[in-house]
Structure 1
Amino acid sequence: MVRFSARGAEFLRAHLINLILALALASLALTPSLVPRPTVFQGVMAGLWFMIGFQLGFAVRAAARILARRLHGGRSASGAATDPPAGSGPGAQRSRSPLRAAGLAAAIGVGLLVYVLGYGALVVSWQNEVRALVEMEPVDGAGHLAFLISMFTTLLLLFGIARGIRALRQAAGAQVARRGGSLRQARWASQATGLVAVLALVLGVLGGGLGVVAEVYQDRDAATPEGITAPVLPGRSGGPDSALAWDGLGRQGRAFAGGGPSAAQISAVTGTAAQEPVRVYAGLSQGADLQARAELVVAELERHGGFDREVLLLATPTGSGWLEPQAIASLEYLYAGDVASASMQYSTQPSWVSFLFDPELPEDSSRALFEAAHERWRELPEAERPKLVVYGLSLGALGMSGSFEDLDDLLARTDAALFTGPPSNSEPWATLQANRDPGSPVWQPVYREGEQVRWQSKPGDFAALGGVWQQPRLGYLQHATDPITWLDPAVILRSPEWLQGPSAAGGRGPDVSDSMRWIPGVTFAHLVADMLVSEAVPPSHGHNFGDVAVDGWAQVLPGHGRSQAQLDAVQTVVEQIDTQNPSWE
């Protein structure tokens, strides 16, 4: 036992810096963020950050040795070798008793255990606070167990990889030494091998991961969501009277064209007569380029009488082509099916891939669609034109809003616009946020007293502002806990406005934990991680906007004539719509 403890003490002495940095980074990974994280996901993140900190310890130790050599040197001023520091020679090492080593190991071990248990209790309280604010149940015993299993599994996997890289380094150094190389050359060979191995691993994971994502989504695009069949009703792309083949619409195009309420369903909910809504969509394979695809959509609208409807909706999808079904259906219920909705696909990849590798594509696609439809719309007699409205969620909001020069251009060429969960680099969103009225919070701003633009987080926010809301109107659906909206590189080095004080004082949204603090670099990393689980929260929080679509459209595009009882009935139905798991779209 004493011998084991002595070995433990030696390990702790040799790796104390590693352990301190590992615990520090793992602790930062567990600090509160905007949305609660599934326990398995949180465990993976804690294990990953712990391993990064542990490996960072080796770099810190190496840097310390180099600095010490430069400060003290290996020789005296006369050039003679200096004596080693007192207590650092072999004799000093032998003089340390096993009992003393065991005591040191026990003391450090107890200290680490106390820290882990104490900090773990704090983390649980943080997570449950965040969960309560977004109306989720607290973490239970099973959740704690899932966290521990995922964290230790991640650690074992990463430590195994680290040991493999270490073995490669040792083999490279030994090979150089066997061939007569100097100790310095062997050390450089070892370090170079380790660096190459790490780079190869990172690039392999990234490249291989992107390759897998591309293949998975390519195959996914060829499939059809469960419960979706080719339209038998008129006015749908891929249907019997359509020039666009069902197989070419893509997965999300088929979900859009084959989904949504029928006239009978709309009548059953609202108690009034309704028309069959028109839904037009062109898949990525339909049309040689964006312009050709946009022209196909306009021709399809003509074919189905889309320009004869009361409302013409032009919508930009997310990266994979997904359109939020609740937003589209809400407008169709409000206007008794007298709506034509049109969109087109620009990618098969999820939004984050499109955003990273071709950020201008959503805007180019949106602009092509809007310009083609707007040109045909302008040719109609003014009294016969449908209300022209535009919509986009997330990357779709970035794309469609970017089709216009500024707010004036958008309002001059549309009858209404509704953008949901816009990314931080969206325009005119960023400009409007920056120039909001003094005293209004960034998470729910007021611009020029709400005369043209308003923001809404929960139903009723648009109307609660009061005053005159002129038409045409622009509305933003925005949550204080949506990481997609607040992910901004500036957060790396500067505390954001949405974390400027407690929620009671308006310094942050009411569902943002007061325990969340800005930490340089860490808060940005939290936002990146939060994006991956931003849909895994109830409506009114994160990136889930299913409960505000009805009221959003009802306020942005008035004239539907629905009573409050009808709006309530529509709200109930819309909240039950299956969104087809959009988290990775």
Structure 2
Amino acid sequence: MRFLRALGSAFSVPSLLLALLFLAVSLTPSLVPRGPIVQGVLGGVMMALGYLTGRILELIWQAADLPHLTGRAAAIGTAFSTAVVLAVLGWSFFASFQWQNDLRMRMGMELAEQSHWLRVILLVIVLFAVLYILGTAVGLLFKLVRAGLYRVMPPRRANVLGVLIVALAFFILTRDSLVPSVWAFLDESYETAQDLFGDAPPAPTEPRLAGSPASVIRWDEMGQPGRDFVLKGPDAAAITAFTGEDALDPIRVYVGRANGETARARAQLALEELLRLDAFDREILIVASPTGTGWLDPGSHDPLEYMHGGDIATVAVQYSYLQSPLALIFETQTGLDQASETVKTIHDYWKTLPPDDRPRLYIHGLSLGAWSSMYATNLFRLVNDGIDGALWAGPPFPSAFWNYVQNNRNEGSPWVLPEVEDGSLVRYASHVTDGSEGAPWGSMRLMFLQYPSDAIVFYDPFSLWRRPVWMREPPGDGVSPNMRFVPIVTQFQLALDMALATTAPAGYGHAYYSQDYIEPWVQVTAPEGWTQDDTERLKAHCDTGFQNGCNNG
């Protein structure tokens, strides 16, 4: 009964009105379309956050002993405020259906069902109620603890100690379920994504393949992402069938995290395998950094092997088993260290070869792979016998080099697709821009591939209180013109967009795919005798789906 009385007595109408305003604003569109479950969760959380904000403001107001309305004036003010808030909320629900469908049409998705918002409303009510009850329970626990402490110490000290005791109790109650669940998820990710050791399929028998009996890389330690990369690319026959000319079998080298104890050991193993396969005799050498799980996008690598007739070698070294968001949190430095060792080891050997008798060297990465490979491609490697170029797709927002280039864009060029000087060194490509515009390329070619609707690229941690640069400009491809900046709310929307970035259709969000890689690769690697007709044929040959390559026969 005491708990039920606490639920009613603690309820605040002004805070509820602020919560409803937070809910109304959360219905505005962001970068990725939201289904009813996602929208309902966002709305419920934002409503609870708005209510909590209101309660905090009320407590501060009371502590400062500021005046407040009473009697008839309070009743009129409450009625007027309620009418305004309900009108805003009703309009937001009505307009948000159109906002979501407008965004879906821009991305070529099916329109939302009419029952969409009924499910949203039900989920918001349930989630807010659950969070309100939990908050009330925590508040009641604090009052009970504080009341006990009042008997033995002054009120101010009791208040501080009461907060600490409740926080400690909350941690103890959750650690036995929350922490084991997180680690269980990580363990499951490790087991299912890698299929290491006894779960590995039979090793290839062809000596030309990494992981074969002739290889210095153990197949059972390579991991599933590496085995897929080694086995599933186009071979010489597939390339010849497409080009009509004799082709070579592309060289693909992959070193799994379990293949070596340290980043340096794994990098050395990669170099040994490249030397075994005579990779430095090829025309093109790509040093690629994988994503968190070790995955490499076939939509990027397959087209490149077709356009160079298989006369290409690609090497990658794994640094994590975790999904990219988890790797970003738990293994950020691990990825940077591995990419640095890999690039340094291969670049140092490559520099010893005669400039006229060595492959052209390029750096590549997607997502966290873009971040780590940019970090590894430092100033000394760009200036002192530098690489020939790089293609970085979907670079995460913390990437230092990406931020440096973005902030040095030409005045007036948009944040989502900047222009840098005359375009002879750095260019940008997207779903609608192929990176071919600019002055003739110099000796080094750097290309960024990024979609304006990709929150992993354009998330801004300062959007908690400040409008991101790109929201001050006309919306880019796939971005709703109805998107509005609201402090606090925009931060949560963009954070949710990051989590959902790969669920967007191909060509939007963080769903990069083969057609959008092809022209940037042509610009960066300049395949001999390649024409625009070849580009269009290769685009037609490649799959259009996200995470699909071009090895479709």
Give the alignment's TM-score, normalised by structure 2.
0.85
CA distance in 2 between counterparts of 1:360 and 1:219 reads 23
Does residue 1:354 correspond to 2:327, yes or no?
A: yes
Does 1:525 pair with 2:492?
A: yes
366-375 or 377-386, larger mean C-alpha shift: 377-386
Number of the residue aligned with 1:79? none
SS in structure 2 at match of 1:18? helix
Partner of 1:32: 29
Over 3 Å counting, the alpha-carbon distance change for 1:130 and 1:246 in structure 2 is same
Partners in 1 of 2:338 and 2:152 — Cα distance?
62
- Following superposition, the deviation at residue 149 of structure 1 comes to 4.7
> Structure 1 residue aligned with 2:92, among 111, 119, 123?
119
Structure 1 residues 544-568: Cα deviation after superposition (integer angstroms, max 9, x where no partner): 2213111111111112434444433
Q: d(CA) in 2 for partners of 1:470 and 1:332?
A: 23
Task: Answer with 1 or 2: which has the greater Rg.
Answer: 1
1:218 counterpart residue number: 190
SS of equivalent to 1:315: strand
Partner in structure 2 of residue 19 of structure 1: 16
Percent identical pairs in the alignment equals 30
Q: Specify whether residues 550 and 580 from structure 1 end up closer, same or farther in structure 2 by C-alpha distance, changes over 3 A only.
A: closer
Name the CA distance, whole Å, in 2 between partners of 1:516 and 1:564: 37
Distance of 1:486 and 1:142 partners within structure 2? 32
Task: State yes or no: 1:439 paired with 2:420.
Answer: no
Alignment of 1:224-263 (within 5 A): 230-263=203-236
- The one of 510, 515, 520 equivalent to 1:552 is 520
- Provide the residue aligned with 2:250 in structure 1: 277
What is the Cα deviation at residue 23 of structure 1? 1.4
Structure 1 residue 185, shift from structure 2 partner? 9.0
Q: CA deviation at 1:308?
A: 1.9
Is residue 2:290 matched to residue 1:317?
yes
- Answer whether contact 1:406 1:428 (CA < 8 A) is retained: no
Calculate the TM-score normalised by the size of structure 1.
0.81
One-letter amino acid of the structure 2 residue matched with residue 168 of structure 1: L
Q: Which residue of 1 aligns with 2:440?
A: 468
AA matched with 2:106: L
Paired with 1:331 and 1:55, the residues of 2 have a C-alpha distance of 53
Deviations 1:488-518 (A, max 9, x none): 33444433321223x3xxxx32432222223
Cross-structure match for 1:512: 479
SS at match of 1:257: helix
1:427 positional shift:
4.1
Structure 1 31/317 Cα, relative in aligned 2: closer, same or farther at 3 Å? Answer: same
How well do the aligned residues superpose, as a CA RMSD in angstroms? 3.7
In the TM superposition, what is the alpha-carbon distance from 1:196 to its structure 2 partner?
A: 4.2
Asked if 2 retains the 8 angstrom alpha-carbon contact of 1:421 and 1:543, the reply is yes
Q: Look up the match of 1:541.
A: 508
Deviation digits for residues 523-545 of structure 1, max 9, x if unmatched?
33322211111122223322122
Q: Cα distance, 1:208 vs. partner?
A: 5.1
Asked if structure 2 preserves the Cα contact closer than 8 Å seen for 1:244 and 1:286, the reply is yes
Letter of the aligned partner of 2:36 in structure 1? T
Are residues 221 and 87 of structure 1, via their aligned partners in 2, closer, same or farther at CA, if it must alter by over 3 Å? Answer: closer
Q: 2:226, 2:256 within 8 Å by CA — same for their partners in 1?
A: yes
- Give 1:53's match in structure 2, choosing from 50, 53, 69: 50
Letter in 2 for 1:524: Q
- Pairing 1:366–2:339 present: yes
Name the CA distance, whole Å, in 2 between partners of 1:384 and 1:67.
Answer: 77
The residue that corresponds to 2:263 in the other structure is 290
Query: Taking structure 1 as reference, are residues 407 and 142 closer, same or farther at Cα in structure 2, changes over 3 Å only?
Result: farther
Check if 1:575 corresponds to 2:543.
yes
* AA at the equivalent of 2:449: L
Deviation digits for residues 215-269 of structure 1, max 9, x if unmatched? 2322234338x99875454432223432222221123222222322222222233
Shift of 1:159: 3.7
Q: How far apart, CA to CA, are the structure 2 residues paired with 1:42 and 1:329?
A: 37
Q: How far apart, CA to CA, are the structure 1 residues paired with 2:77 and 2:486?
A: 33
Alpha carbons 2:381, 2:387 under 8 Å: kept: no
**Shift of the alpha carbon at 1:139?**
1.4
8 Å CA contact 1:481–1:512 kept in 2: the answer is yes
Matches within 5 A, 1:195-210: 195-197=167-169, 207=179, 210=182
* Residue of structure 2 in register with 1:386 after alignment: 359
Distance 1:377 1:218 in 2: 34
Are 1:456 and 2:429 an aligned pair?
A: yes
Other structure's SS at 2:446 match? strand
For 1:387, give the aligned amino acid.
R
Q: 1:481 aligns with which of 426, 429, 453?
A: 453
1:64 to 38, 61, 73: 61
- Checking the alignment, whether the CA contact within 8 Å between 1:306 and 1:340 is kept in structure 2 is yes
Contact 1:47 1:155 in 2 (8 A): yes
Question: Which letter maps to 1:518?
Answer: F
Q: Which runs of 5+ in 2 are unaligned?
A: none
Name the CA distance, whole Å, in 2 between partners of 1:316 and 1:256: 13
Name the aligned partner's letter for residue 538 of structure 2.
V
Alpha-carbon separation, structure 2, partners of 1:451 and 1:109: 59
Q: In the alignment, does 2:379 pair up with 1:406?
A: yes
Which moved further from structure 2: 190-199 or 350-359? 190-199
Q: Distance in 2 between matches of 1:13 and 1:295?
A: 64
Q: Which runs of 5+ in 1 are unaligned?
A: 1-6, 73-84, 93-100
Structure 2 CA distance for aligned equivalents of residues 176 and 531 of structure 1: 44
